[in-house]
């Protein structure tokens, strides 16, 4: 009985990992970084960020895009 339960649990864990991988397959992490940069650029244009703050954000985002 315990062996059957352990096997069922192992199959369930494997199934969960496969489903998560299937949903995350199309994700593009650079899209999020590009969106963040566009938002920061707009905030800088509207005066909500200083030029120095924008350059700092742009530098950090650029490092993430290089990966």
Give the three-state DSSP class for 67: coil
Please list, in sequence order, all residues whose beta carbon lies within 8 angstroms of the beta carbon of residue 34, skipping any fewer than 6 positions away: 65
State residue 7's pLDDT score: 92
* pTM score: 0.51
Q: What is the pLDDT of residues 5-25, one digit of tens each?
A: 999 999 999 998 888 877 776
Name the H helices within 1-67. 2-24, 29-45, 51-66
CA–CA distance, 34 with 48 (Å, rounded to integer):
19
Tokens of 1: 């009985």
In total, how many domains does the chain have? 1
Domain with 41, as residue range(s), is: 2-66
């Amino acid at each position: 009985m315990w062996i059957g339960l352990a096997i069922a649990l192992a199959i369930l864990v494997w199934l969960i990992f496969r489903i998560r991988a299937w949903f995350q397959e199309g994700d593009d992490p650079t899209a999020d970084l590009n969106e963040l940069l566009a938002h920061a650029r707009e905030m800088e244009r509207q005066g909500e960020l200083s030029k120095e703050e924008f350059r700092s954000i742009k530098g950090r985002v650029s490092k993430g895009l290089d990966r």
